[in-house]
Amino acid sequence: HYDIGFSIENLVYFELLRRGYEVNIGKINGTEIDFVAKKDGAYTYIQVSASLIDESTFKREITPLQNIHDNYEKFILTLDDYSEGNYNGILIKNVINWLLEE
């Protein structure tokens, strides 16, 4: 069984390292944040999900980010194009587009 989500997480992890971030996994209120990336004293919180089309998956991925009450960047990276946008300060981006940024 091939897990595309796991592969995307690996890709994002190594790209964050390549971009010079210090990368950790975060936990808040019993939920997990895939990546807490730190660079130049600033944090970026990132969730990775192959798809957000399913409402329960969307809720599972966005809830931990909603529980962080600071003003650092928060992203969900996905293969979807359908879910892209700004959800109360949490940006949802297509992972391919994110990889091509910089």
pLDDT for 12: 97
pLDDT for 83: 84
pLDDT for 65: 96
pLDDT for 90: 97
| Tokens encoding 95 | 């992972």
pLDDT for 40: 97
Instruction: Give this prediction's pTM.
Output: 0.92
pLDDT for 1: 61
CA–CA dist 100, 76 (Å, integer): 16
By CB neighbour count within 10 A (0-12 exposed, 13-18 middle, 19+ buried), where does 21 fall?
Answer: buried
Q: Which residues of the chain have pLDDT under 70?
A: 1
